[in-house]
Amino acid sequence: MANTFQKAAFNRKLTYSVLIVAIFVVTLFGRGKFTLPGDLNKYTVKSQADRWKLSSDSRGGSELSGKAIQLVLTGSQGLVTCILWLKANDYQRNQEWNKLEVVVDSATKLQPYFLTPWLFQSWNLAYNVSVTMTRMNDMYFYIARGISLLAEGESINENSPDLRYNIGLYLQNKFTVSDKVNTLRCLYQLSCIPPDERKADLLLTPDRKAVNMQAFLEFCNKHPQLVRRLRESTVALSQPADIVNFLKENVKVPTRYRDGMNLEVSGYNQFPVLPPQFLNDEAEELTPKREIQDRDADALVAARAWYRYSMVPVPPPNNRPVHLATEEEKAKYRIPKSPMLVIFLQAAPRSQTYIAERLQKEGWIDNDPWKVDEFRDIGEPERWFTQDVAIPPSMTSQEAWEKAFRMWDEHGKGRGLFYDKATMANLVSRAREFAQHRGKAIEELGQQTEATPEELADPILRDRFEAYEDLRNFRLNASVTNFKSFLFCSEAEMDRDTLEARKIFFKAEQYKKMAKTSKAPALYVKAFELWKKVFLKNPYFHRGDEEAGGNEGDKQQEEVLEYEINYLDIITGPYLSKRREAVLALNDIMNGLGAAGTRDPLQVLGSVYLMNEAKLVSVSDRIEPLPQPGPLDGDDPNGRPWISPYIRERVKQRLAPTRQAAAQAAQSAPRPTPTTSSVGP
């Protein structure tokens, strides 16, 4: 009996062992460890994981030390990550930056495929930590560190549209809307220049006591945008020696180079960090292997590359309005979590618009060269060269606007954001027919309507349903984007008259900024006449889509209205100054008459003259600008105001605090003590 039980137990154990080995062998084949005959390999776990980018090897790069730590910690990985996260907050609160960086690096490596730590900690460094720095060089370092950290996460989590988009967003925000944007842009450009080319000693004489003007001129020709920004923007370095000192003080910045002239081998160790080549044309966008010339030494150019790279894993354009992703699309593509898909997709052309606006603001309008000392006469201390020097632009806003228009046009056609009148009428007609099939008005179908299987089976009804869906998505997308504004405004900005007006306005503003106001009024008048022509030629640029109640033209109206205010300040300035002096002198005379109790005929005559000159009822009246019609007062040839009244009021309220402070400073300025003999008819 015992032998029977023992034999049964042995057979059972043997059977289990054979089954275990058999199952193990089957799993080896199923996991793709061995090659299967025919097409069976595509059904293995490994093949499916690679197809859907689920394995660690297919998701991106991996880091050896991080892998080792994960294996050691086993199930306590999440707990340790939470502890590190809390420690990071403590180190940041105590401003222990070195420890913070180590902890952040460890936390992201413990959970490399969890996107939130990468997004949060990179944002924390680039935004929260950087603004606590007092030195611009330190601020720039932590901005660069935050962006590089996010790029490292992207290298581990390939095909993540969210990480790629946020790299572009950080580059765009920190170098566009920051308070110290001009200095940060200059530091960014230094990162793009090989360290051996920007050594301060190269621009000095052999004794290092003066600037070598010939070498400095060569530097200006090679890096015109950098030098012009250092001189004419808020950085305001007035002398070549100041620029040389700037190079010396910022010799150590995050850079693309591992030594004086050689690029870092890994693109993710460079700053600015750039995406790998993903387009057929290598020259279309920057890549880690390309040298960055002055024309492309702009964070917005890098941001544009990342934005376009982020669109690689999302659904491609199909000439229909962007819609909520279907289950099939979610399985085939990567859908970003934020922002809304239609806004996500317009990031690249939006960054190109920023590039054009930046070039325009800095004076690189067209192919006219930068006249380095144009606003400074020979003998003035801020003049650099004894002879007139003109440096050709490396990039112009005209080129940038043309590219922006092409990008917006391609985006609009590919994503169904713009229809001509005939196509739109056809779309509405087909959508209305679908609503009538349902026995409802088109407005009653609601925001989301599902087609029945019978409707999808009927080709005609299916076409009408798709028309309704397209119309609904088109209206939704139009309500959350300013696509038409960007398209038509970029078209207007690249017009020859617009470019010429911009160029003249820029020159007039420069004269005003340098207090050489005698040359500015004529330039303003010429620019205003051109601007009226631009407004008449481009109604959308002037007033926006009025049929839809849009206010896309507000920006253009506000901008030119500020130019008008500056112009009126110049031409009324001498009169206001004369009135102010008359009021102050009249006040002194009247106080003197009251104290002395006299009626000196000369003083009385002088006071009458001053009262007439001041045009005041009493000396306590408020001084207001003399009535002066502006170039954009009145109506256009169509009988409508050039500038809308609500725009005038809005700009007036916005500028009121600044102008009031300037007026108070002028009134409190010291003045010479008036005497009786110094006034009179």
pLDDT tens-digit series, residues 104-150: 888 887 888 888 889 988 999 999 999 999 999 999 999 999 999 99
pLDDT at 538 over 70: yes
DSSP 276: P
Quickly state the pLDDT bin for 574 (edges 50, 70, 90): low
pLDDT at site 281: 85
pLDDT at 593 over 60: no
Tell me the one-letter amino acid at 442. Answer: I
pLDDT at site 515: 85
The mean pLDDT of 30-56, rounded to a whole number, is 67
| Alpha-helical runs (H) found in 193-332 | 213-222, 224-232, 240-249, 299-310, 327-332
pLDDT at site 44: 74
Lowest mean pLDDT segment, chosen from 436-450, 481-495, 572-586: 572-586
Question: Contact 492/534 with Cβ under 8 angstroms?
Answer: yes
Q: How far apart (Å, rounded) are the C-alpha atoms in residues 418 and 318? A: 13
The pLDDT tens digits of the residues spanning 305-318 come to 999 999 999 999 99
CA–centroid distance for 235 within its chain: 19
Structure-token pair, residue 265: 């081998």
| DSSP string for residues in 646-668 | HHHHHHHHHHHHHHHHHHHHHHT
Domain ranges of the chain: 2-51, 548-678
Question: Contact 31/46 with Cβ under 8 angstroms?
Answer: yes
Quickly state the pLDDT bin for 591 (edges 50, 70, 90): low
Task: Find the distance separating the first CA and the last CA of the chain, reported in whole Å.
Answer: 143
Q: How far apart (Å, rounded) are the C-alpha atoms in residues 120 and 506? A: 41
DSSP 257: B
Region of 365 please: left (phi>0), alpha (psi -120 to 50) or beta: alpha
pLDDT at 3 over 80: no
The mean pLDDT of 273-284, rounded to a whole number, is 90
Report the range out of 301-305, 621-625, 626-630 with the highest average pLDDT: 301-305
Quickly state the pLDDT bin for 549 (edges 50, 70, 90): low
Q: How far apart (Å, rounded) are the C-alpha atoms in residues 191 and 270? A: 9
pLDDT at 575 over 60: no
The mean pLDDT of 170-180, rounded to a whole number, is 89
Lowest mean pLDDT segment, chosen from 59-73, 178-192, 229-243, 666-680: 666-680
Decide which of 404 and 622 is more confident.
404
The pLDDT tens digits of the residues spanning 358-385 come to 999 999 999 999 999 998 888 888 999 9
The mean pLDDT of 25-30, rounded to a whole number, is 76
Task: Count each helix (H run) and each strand (E run) in the chain, helices first.
Answer: 28, 2
Other CB atoms within a 10 A radius of the CB of residue 42 amount to 11
pLDDT at site 202: 95
Structure-token pair, residue 108: 């992201």
pLDDT at 423 over 50: yes
The mean pLDDT of 266-275, rounded to a whole number, is 91
pLDDT at site 532: 96
Question: Contact 125/145 with Cβ under 8 angstroms?
Answer: yes
Pairing of strands 390-391, 370-371: antiparallel
Quickly state the pLDDT bin for 623 (edges 50, 70, 90): very low
The pLDDT tens digits of the residues spanning 449-461 come to 788 889 889 999 9
pLDDT at 598 over 60: no
pLDDT at site 627: 52
pLDDT at 675 over 60: no
The pLDDT tens digits of the residues spanning 223-260 come to 999 999 999 999 999 999 999 999 999 999 999 998 88
Angle at 28 between CA 25 and CA 31, to 5 degrees: 150
Query: What Rg do the C-alpha atoms of the chain give, in angstroms?
Result: 34
Average pLDDT value over all residues in the chain = 84
The mean pLDDT of 41-58, rounded to a whole number, is 64
The mean pLDDT of 166-171, rounded to a whole number, is 97
Closest listed residue to residue 372, CA positions, set 498, 193, 563, 216: 216
| DSSP string for residues in 156-201 | HSTT-HHHHHHHHHHHHHHTTTSTTHHHHHHHHHHHHS-GGGS-GG
Quickly state the pLDDT bin for 189 (edges 50, 70, 90): very high
CA–centroid distance for 5 within its chain: 81
pLDDT at 589 over 70: no
What letters, b where the CB count within 10 A reaches 16 and e where it falls short, cover 600-636? eeebeebbebbbebbebeebeeebeeeeeebbbeeee
pLDDT at 618 over 50: no
The pLDDT tens digits of the residues spanning 63-112 come to 555 556 666 666 677 788 888 888 888 888 888 877 887 888 888 878 88
The pLDDT tens digits of the residues spanning 323-343 come to 888 888 888 899 999 899 999
Quickly state the pLDDT bin for 199 (edges 50, 70, 90): very high
Quickly state the pLDDT bin for 604 (edges 50, 70, 90): very low
Angle (deg, nearest 10), helices 161-174 and 347-361: 10
pLDDT at site 619: 36
Lowest mean pLDDT segment, chosen from 165-179, 366-380, 465-479, 664-678: 664-678
